[in-house]
Structure 1
Amino acid sequence: MATTETAAKRLCIGAVVPRTGRLSKLGDPLSFILTHLAPRLSHLTRGNRRHPVTLAWRDSRSDPAHARQAVTELVRHEQAQIIVTMAGTKVLPAVADACEKAGVACVSTTFPWQAYVHTRGTGPGRFTYHFAWGLDDIAAVFAEMWERLGPRHHVGCLWNDDLQGQLLRHPTHGFAPVASARGHHLTEPGGYREPAQDFTAHLGHFRDHNAEIVTSASTAEDLALFYRQAGERGQRPRLITCSRWLAYPRGTAAAELDEARVATLMYWSPRHPFRSSLDGSTAEQLAHAYQQRTGNLWIQPLGLAHALLEVAAHALTTADDPTVPRSVADAVGRTRLPTIAGLLDWTSGPTANVAHVPLIGGQWKTHHRHHELAVVTNTNMPEIPVEADLAPAR
C-alpha cells in the first residue's frame, strides 16, 4: 500500500555558502542554484514514498570557524541528512571535517582532489565525498597550452606560500612533476604572502632565468599587480596561465589584465554536452537561466553547484534509509551519475571518496567590451570543439 506524503519524513539538503567575507562572490553560483532548484526539489520520490524536502543554507562568512558552526546549525536545527559546499582552501576542509565529526554526509567540489586528500585523508567508513580535477590535470592542460608557443619553455611560477603553493610545488604529487616531465623547466624564487605587496624579487628571478611564460594560482588582484609591475620593467610574459582565473573578474583587475589574454582551465561551460539528472535541462539552458535572473555572464562553478544538488538528491533517493546518516553517505559512495557537470563516478575515482572531473584549456577573449572564455585545447574532451587559437599577450 502506498504511503501518503504526510506520513513520509521530511528530508533536508543543507548547504554551507560563503555569502559574506572575502569569498562572498564565490558563493553566488550555489546561492543561485539553491533558489533555481527549490521548486524541482520540493519533493523526492523513493519507492512508494514521496518525501517533502527542505533546502536550507548557512553562511560560512568565508571563515573556517563559522563554517564549522554552520554545519552544526544545519544538523541540529534543520536535521540535514546531507550537506553540500564549494570554494575556499581553508573553509571547504573545515566544512568536511565538521560533517565527519557530526556523522552527516557531505559532498564538496571546486578544490583539487590532491589538496582535499592532503588536508583530510580518505578511506572506508567516511561520511565525506568530493569531486574535482587534480593538480596533475591542471599541469597537463597548462603544458599543452605552453607547447602551442614551442616545445619546451622556462616557466616562472607565481605561487603563494600557503597550502595551495605547497601542493603545486610538491615533488611527487603536485603540479611540478607533471610539467617537468614534459620537458619544461620550472623556476620559482619562493612563495609570497597574500595579498601581495610587491613582485620585484619574482620579476628579477624570472628575468635571470629567461622565463617567458608565467604560471600562477594568484587572485585577480595579485595577478594584476604582477602584470603591472612586469610592464613597468619591460618584461611582460608571452603567456600567463592561471588556475584561479575561473570566472572573469570585474573591476580594476579585469581592465588591467585584458591585454594579458590570461589562459586558464575549463571544467564547465554552456558548450559542455551534459544534461541535468533532475529534469534533463542542458548546460546551455542553465547558463541562460543564470544570466536572465542575475544579469551576469555565466561562470564555471555554476555547473558544479548544480551537480552538488543532483548528487545530494540522488543519494537521498537511493539510500537504503534516507533518514539514517550512514545510509546516505554510503549511497554517495556508490554513486555513478550523469550530471550537468558530466559523469560523476565515486566507484572508480582517482582515490577513495573522490570522483574525477576532466579539464580542457580556455583563454579569455575580448570583443567590443564583451569577455568570453573560448576553448583553445580539448584533448581530454574532444567532443567540445576548439573555438579559437591560443594567442600570446599583446
Structure 2
Amino acid sequence: MTLNGKKLNISRRGFLGGATAALAAPAILTRTRAYAADPVIKIGHISPRTGPLAGFAEADDYVLEGIKAALSGGIENNGKTYQVEILSKDSQSNPNRAAEVASELILGDEVDIIVAASTPDTTNPVSDQAELNEVPCITTDCPWQPYFFGRNGDPAVGFDYTYHFFWGLEDVINAFLDLWGQSGAAKTVGGLFPNDADGNAWGDEIHGFPPALAGQGFQLVDPGRYQPLTDDFTSQISAFKEAGCEIVTGNMIPPDFGTFWSQAAQQGFHPKVVTIGKALLFPSVIESLGDRGDGLTSEIWWSPDHPFSSSLTGVSAKDLANGYTAASNRPWTQPIGFKHALFEVTSDVIRRSADLEDPAAILDAIRKTKLSTVVGPVDWSSGPVRNVTKTPLVAGQWQKGADGFDLVITANRSAPFIPTTGELKLLS
C-alpha cells in the first residue's frame, strides 16, 4: 500500500482493523464470530499438489477427508463448540505461488491459523507471509535448518508467529552414517546438492554434511551446486568415478534423481550405496525406476511400523497407512503421518487456546504444546532453537519382493524405539 508515494507495511490485523473502523456498519447489523450462533474457526492449508514436489501431497485428499470427518462435530473451546473450516490450496511446487496463496488465505479468507508442509519451497514462503501478517502458523515436512536459517532466523531471537516440527540435518546425517556403517563400502561419498534451499543447507560447509562427514572419516566429493531440473549430470558422474566413490548421497527432486540414475548407468558408474533425501521417499518414484529402484536407500520419517498413534482419532500408524492403501489402492507414503499430525497439533491448539479471538492466545497454546502424535511427541519447550521441535528419524532401503517394493527400516541407532524391519543389502 502507498500513501503520498511512500510504501506502507501494514499487517493483516492492522489492515483489517483499520478497514473495520472506516467501514463500520450499525451495531445491530454487526455479527462477529464470538457471538455467532455457529462460531467457525478457519484453518488455511497449503501443500504442493502439482509440480515436481507433488509426491509430497499424494495423500492429501485421504488425510483431509479423515481430518474433516474427525472434526465434523466441531472442537470444544471454553464451553463453546467451534465448527472447523479447512481451506486447502496448491503451492504448485513454486515458492512464489506458495506465498501468493498464503496471502489469499490470510487477507482474503481471513483464516485464524495457517498450516503448510513439504520442503522449504512451501513452508518458508507460507511462514514468511504468516509472520508478516501476524497470523499463527504451524509447518512440518522440512528439515529445521532450511526452514529456520533459510528464513534468516536468529537463534537468539526466533520468530513470533511461526512454529515448525520435523527432524534436522544432524538427524539425517546420523541416520545415513548408521546405514553406511553397515554397508562396508569405502568412505568416499559423492554429493548431489541442488542450488535450492534444501540443497544449499545439506551442502553447507558449517551446518550441513561436509563437516559431519569429515568428522567421521568420510571424504565428501562435492562438485558444486547444480540447477534443479538439469538434464546433464556428466560432470558429477565423472568426478565421482575419478574419486572412486562407492556411496552417493544428496537431496534431489524426483525428476533430477531419475536423470542422474539413468546417466550413471549409461556412463558405467556403479556405486554400492545410493542414499538420497527427498527423491527416494515415494513408492511411485521407485516403481518408475523398475529394477533400478531395488536397493536404493533413504531417510524414513514415518512408516506403518512406527509405534505411535493419533491423538485425534486414536488410529495407529499401521492402520493409518493401511487405510490409505485401502482407499487409494496405492502403497503408503511417508508424508501421510506428518500431514495427519499437522492437524492433530492444530486441533489440540484450538482446544486449549484461552481465547480464539486473540492470536496471542493461540500462539501461547502453540508454545505450550506437549502432544503425543502419530509421528511422535511434539513439544516446543525443548527445541534446538526457538520455534522448532524435533521428531525421530531412522533410515532404510527399498527392497523388491514378490508383491513389489517395500521400504524396510535397516538403521535405527538414533531412535531404537522404532524397530528395524530388514537388513541392508548392497546394490547389485
Pairwise TM-score range, normalised by the shorter structure: over 0.9
Alignment match, 1:207: 241
Alignment match, 1:48: 79
Gaps of 5+ in 2: 1-33
2:292 to 240, 245, 257: 257
Matched to 2:369, the amino acid is: T
Matched, 1:61 2:96: no
2:59 to 29, 36, 57: 29
Alignment match, 1:227: 261
Matched, 1:248 2:283: yes
User: Aligned partners of 1:83, 1:129: CA distance in 2, in Å?
Assistant: 11
Matched to 1:85, the amino acid is: A
Matched, 1:309 2:343: yes
Matched, 1:116 2:147: yes
Mapping for residues 79-94 of structure 1, pairs under 5 Å: 79-94=110-125
Matched to 1:201, the amino acid is: S
Matched, 1:38 2:68: yes
CA contact (8 A) 1:19 1:60 kept: yes
Alignment match, 1:361: 395
Mapping for residues 375-386 of structure 1, pairs under 5 Å: 375-386=409-420
User: Aligned partners of 2:285, 2:246: CA distance in 1, in Å?
Assistant: 27
Cα offsets for 1:334-359 (capped at 9, x unmatched): 21110011001111011100010121
Matched to 2:117, the amino acid is: M
1:139 to 163, 169, 173: 173
Segment of structure 1 superposing worse, 382-391 or 299-308: 382-391
Matched, 1:20 2:54: no
CA contact (8 A) 2:185 2:272 kept: no
Matched to 2:389, the amino acid is: A
CA contact (8 A) 2:287 2:405 kept: no
Alignment match, 1:150: 184
Matched to 1:379, the amino acid is: R
Alignment match, 2:106: 75
User: Aligned partners of 2:227, 2:193: CA distance in 1, in Å?
Assistant: 9
CA contact (8 A) 1:8 1:49 kept: no
Alignment match, 2:13: none
Change (3 A) 1:218 1:23: closer
User: Aligned partners of 1:187, 1:17: CA distance in 2, in Å?
Assistant: 33
Cα offsets for 1:236-282 (capped at 9, x unmatched): 001100111211234874226324x1111011111111111112111
CA contact (8 A) 2:62 2:324 kept: yes
User: Aligned partners of 1:150, 1:185: CA distance in 2, in Å?
Assistant: 15
How far is 1:379 from its partner?
A: 1.1
Segment of structure 1 superposing worse, 24-33 or 278-287: 24-33
Alignment match, 2:215: 181
Matched, 1:95 2:129: no
User: Aligned partners of 2:392, 2:234: CA distance in 1, in Å?
Assistant: 35
User: Aligned partners of 2:108, 2:264: CA distance in 1, in Å?
Assistant: 52
Alignment match, 1:279: 313
User: Aligned partners of 1:268, 1:212: CA distance in 2, in Å?
Assistant: 27
Gaps of 5+ in 1: none
Alignment match, 2:423: 389
How far is 1:85 from its partner?
A: 0.8
**CA RMSD across the alignment:** 2.1
Alignment match, 1:295: 329
Change (3 A) 1:161 1:76: closer
Matched to 1:271, the amino acid is: D
Cα offsets for 1:120-171 (capped at 9, x unmatched): 2164561101111111111111111111123860111122223322222222
User: Aligned partners of 1:160, 1:293: CA distance in 2, in Å?
Assistant: 35
CA contact (8 A) 1:287 1:298 kept: yes
1:336 to 356, 370, 374: 370
How far is 1:174 from its partner?
A: 1.1
Alignment match, 1:190: 224
> Which has the larger Rg?
2
Segment of structure 1 superposing worse, 353-362 or 9-18: 9-18
Matched to 1:18, the amino acid is: P
How far is 1:363 from its partner?
A: 0.3
Matched position secondary structure for 1:90 = helix
Cα offsets for 1:201-257 (capped at 9, x unmatched): 112211221211111212333223322322233320011001112112348742263
CA contact (8 A) 1:246 1:265 kept: yes
How far is 1:192 from its partner?
A: 1.4
Segment of structure 1 superposing worse, 172-181 or 22-31: 22-31
CA contact (8 A) 1:96 1:128 kept: yes
Matched to 1:212, the amino acid is: E
Change (3 A) 1:39 1:147: same
Matched to 2:281, the amino acid is: L
CA contact (8 A) 1:156 1:214 kept: yes
Cα offsets for 1:34-79 (capped at 9, x unmatched): 1111021130012322112212212223323332232233234433
How far is 1:365 from its partner?
A: 0.7
